[in-house]
Each structure stands twice: as C-alpha cells, then as structure tokens.
Structure 1
Amino acid sequence: MVKAIFFDVLGTIVDWNRGLSGGFDRAFAKSGKDIAANSLATAWYRTYRARLASSAGAIQAQEHLAESLAQVLADADLEAPAGSREQELLLACWQRFPAWPDSVPGLRALRREYVIASCTDLPTAPMTWLAKHAGLPWDLVLGSDLLDGRTHDGSLFLKAAATLDLLPSEVMYASAHNADLAAARAVGLKTAFFARPKEFGPDQRNDLAPRDSWDIVAFDLLDLARYMESAVY
C-alpha cells in the first residue's frame, strides 16, 4: 500500500516557463531589444538541466545556473554581466516560480493521507526556497545533494524511500514527464502521470499524453487526489 508520494517539481508542480519568461522580460525591459522571452526561458532551462545531468559529485546549483545563463545570453547576443542587476534578477527567478493553479490545493488534499515530498535532481536549498515562495506544503524536501542519487538511474528514488524507512512499493512517484516515471517504475515505485501541456509554451510537443500504462493517469493534481481518495494502491 502506498504510504508516501514523491513529486517531480519543475514543470509538474511549478510553472518554470512563466517564471523565467517573466524574468527575461523584466531584466531587459529597458534595453530596447526585442527579445524572445519564451525561447530564452526554454533554452536556459534545457541548458541548465543538461549541466545537472552531466555533473559528477555534489551539485553546485548557482554555478550551473550562472554558467548556463551566460551561455544562453551569449547565443542570443545579450548580456547580463556577473553581479549585474539583470543577472541577479534572472538567477532569483529559480526560487520564485509560480505554482500551477491546482498544485497547492492538490498537495494539501493528498497530505491528509500521505507523506508528500519533492524528489528531484535539484539541490535541497533552491527547492526549499522555491517551496517557501510558492506555498508548497511538503512534509520533506528530498534533494539530490543530500541523498547523493539521480532520477535517471532510480538511485534517488530508492534512497528517498529508505530515508522514510519505506519499501519502493510503498512509494508513488508523480510527474508530468514520462521519462521520470519510467525510471521510478524500473526500481519498483508506483507511478502517476498528469500532463502539463503548457510547460514549454505554445509549441510543446512532448509529454502531452502518457507513454505507458502508468498506475494512475489523472487530469491534474486535484484529480490525482480524487483517485487516491477512492482507490487502494
């Protein structure tokens, strides 16, 4: 029986695209340049996540953020020098992403019966400040730096379950990303999918539907809470 539900956060619980796009608009509002905020947001997100995936050992979140931002801006012929107002504004966005409208009420509903925790490849500090800003009612923030594991090989899920003295079969992983769920299922976790079709803006092509027969396929987080109230897993 499921006793805890772990969650992906970026894209699943919070709208990083809106947060970053708004940050680029604010940072370059006085520059007079016509910027493609959504494209910059997507490029930064993907570049940052690629750097995380290739990191060895402890993850230095701010270093990766600053380096990936510099790369994306250089590619777009824009500048935000180290220590500048523009850079500080953009880096701060990662701790201030807005939650999707259903996220907080859905998490609160699930928390009545289950331990709920964020469980992602990102470090504990930014995930904690992000939760504080967005009002995410986690019981735990399980960061990759503390658990020394990754989602792609399932090691993070197993170590997170062990932290709560749970078997993998007693944990469900919820994500809007099929690849996350495949990794979680491979190490014995239950799985729940709901789509976030606007995560990458109007041109999203991936993760619009489940790619496998996940244990639960819901419409959104509130719908997932309704499933969990009426079913035994």
Structure 2
Amino acid sequence: MTLPRILAFDVFGTVVDWHGSIAREVAALYPQVDGDAFALAWRDGYYPAMARVRSGELGWTRIDELHRIILDGILPRFGLEHLSEAERQHLNRAWHRLDAWPDSVEALTRLKARFTICTLSNGNIGLLTNMAKRAGLPWDCILSAEVFRAYKPDPATYLGVAQTFDAAPDEVMLVAAHQEDLDAARPCGLQTAYIERPLEFGAAHVKDVSPSPANTFHARSLTHLAEQLLA
C-alpha cells in the first residue's frame, strides 16, 4: 500500500468537540437551558438545512448562515426567543469557538511533518480559520465546501482536494469520524481513515465506532492514526 501525500480532515466531531463545546457555552450563558439538548437540537437541523440548498429551495448558503437559520428556529423551544440580535449573533459564532479534542493539536503537528494536512469541511472558510486560530490547529491549508460550492458528500468536494494539490485521488486520504463521509469519498478514489470518537454526541449518547473493513485505516484517536502512518 502506498501512503497518501495529502491528509484531508473532516473537522466537526473528528478534530473538534462540537457537542461538548456548544453544550458548555450554552450552559454558561443560559444556566436554565439544558446544554446537551440544545447542542443536539442545533446539530439536528444541519442536514435538513443543507438539503434545502441541495434541492434549490435556498441558493448557495454558507454554514454560518445555515447555523443561524437553525438557531432562530430552536430558540423558542428552549425559552430563548427573547434574545436580541447581538446575543443571537454571539451565540451563532459559538461554532467558531469549538474546542479541539485533547489529542488533536499534537497529532496534527506530528502528521504535518510528513504529510500535507488540510481541512475538508462543510464549515465555511471564516469559521474554520477562526476555529483553527483559537484552538491552535496547525493546518497547511483550509479547504471548505465554500471553495467548491458543494457540500459533502458531493463528489466535487473529495475530488476537489486532489485537484487543488494536482494529485491523483488515491494520493489523498480522508480522515473522519463518520462512516458515511468515508463511504462517499472511497468511490472517488480516496483512501480513508476512520477515527473513533465515541463521545461525539456527549457521554449520554455513546456512538457506535465499530470498524469497517472498507477503510484503509481504523484508529482509536488521531494519535493512534499518527502512530500507524509514521511507523
């Protein structure tokens, strides 16, 4: 097996703890609100919102704007419909302030010494840049659905990474904590690495992280992936 030249990382859930970060911030700002339930409700709106773009109901829309549409829709459910415009804007940017998983920065730094490492996220460029700056994520390059004007799992996103770096698809490896993301990348010719993140949805909602033999690598963490790739 030939190792890839480029490692393209899913970000939400794979590199950063979106659930824990949103839940903590919401609970700190609004102690009367169940942060766990709020984080899950906000994320639940993610795929339906993207489907509105894919169907043509909405024109091309950045994730920041989709997050805001979802946020405005769920605030009444949690007794927060009274929030001002400034408060809503601040809360919506919580997605720019997500904390990295404890192993992420060190493992990415190790991998960066040998591979080109980039994002491949549905998050928009400004969001991913602010997140990286705050969390110390050492990306070589930030690639986003915004660049390709298509959301994953559109093949344009996966093939776009290869085209960006003038590489063959099999010189790119998608690294993700979501089997459906990897399953979409594989027919495009990319190698795939699954990262176990059993607590992606919080301690009360432990995720199945069973291996799939279709993936090139399976790792317990980003640290474990680095150990395998750098062996």
Instruction: Give TM-score scaled by structure 1 length.
Output: 0.90
Query: What does residue 163 of structure 2 align with?
Result: 162
Structure 1 outlier segments of 4+, above 3 Å: none
Deviation at 1:205, TM superposition (A): 5.0
User: Percent sequence identity over matched residues?
Assistant: 32
Deviation at 1:24, TM superposition (A): 1.1
Match of 1:12 among 8, 11, 14: 14
CA distance in 2, matches of 1:174, 1:60: 22
Deviation at 1:190, TM superposition (A): 0.3
Deviation at 1:217, TM superposition (A): 0.6
For 1:129, the aligned partner's letter is: N
Match of 1:67 among 66, 69, 81: 69
Query: What does residue 200 of structure 1 align with?
Result: 201
Local SS of the residue matching 1:214? coil
Map 1:117-132; keep pairs closer than 5 Å. 117-132=118-133
Contact 1:52 1:121 in 2 (8 A): no
Instruction: Give TM-score scaled by structure 2 length.
Output: 0.91
For 2:42, the aligned partner's letter is: W
1:48 correspondence with 2:49: no
Contact 2:193 2:217 in 1 (8 A): yes
Give CA-to-partner distance per residue, 1:99-153, whole Å, 9 cap, x none: 0010000000100110000001221111111111111000000011112233213
CA distance in 2, matches of 1:212, 1:75: 41
Query: What does residue 35 of structure 2 align with?
Result: 37
CA distance in 2, matches of 1:106, 1:199: 18
Contact 2:117 2:140 in 1 (8 A): yes
1:22 correspondence with 2:20: no
Contact 1:150 1:156 in 2 (8 A): yes
Give CA-to-partner distance per residue, 1:63-118, whole Å, 9 cap, x none: 22221111112223332534143x23311211110000100000001001100000
> How many pairs are equivalent?
225
Q: Which runs of 5+ in 1 are unaligned?
A: none
Q: Which runs of 5+ in 2 are unaligned?
A: none
Give CA-to-partner distance per residue, 1:7-47, whole Å, 9 cap, x none: 00000000011111112112213xxx3x2110110110121
Higher mean C-alpha displacement, 14-23 vs 149-158 = 149-158
> What is the root-mean-square deviation of aligned Cα atoms in Å?
1.7
The structure-2 alpha-carbon separation of the partners of 1:151 and 1:61, relative to structure 1 and needing over 3 Å to count, comes to closer
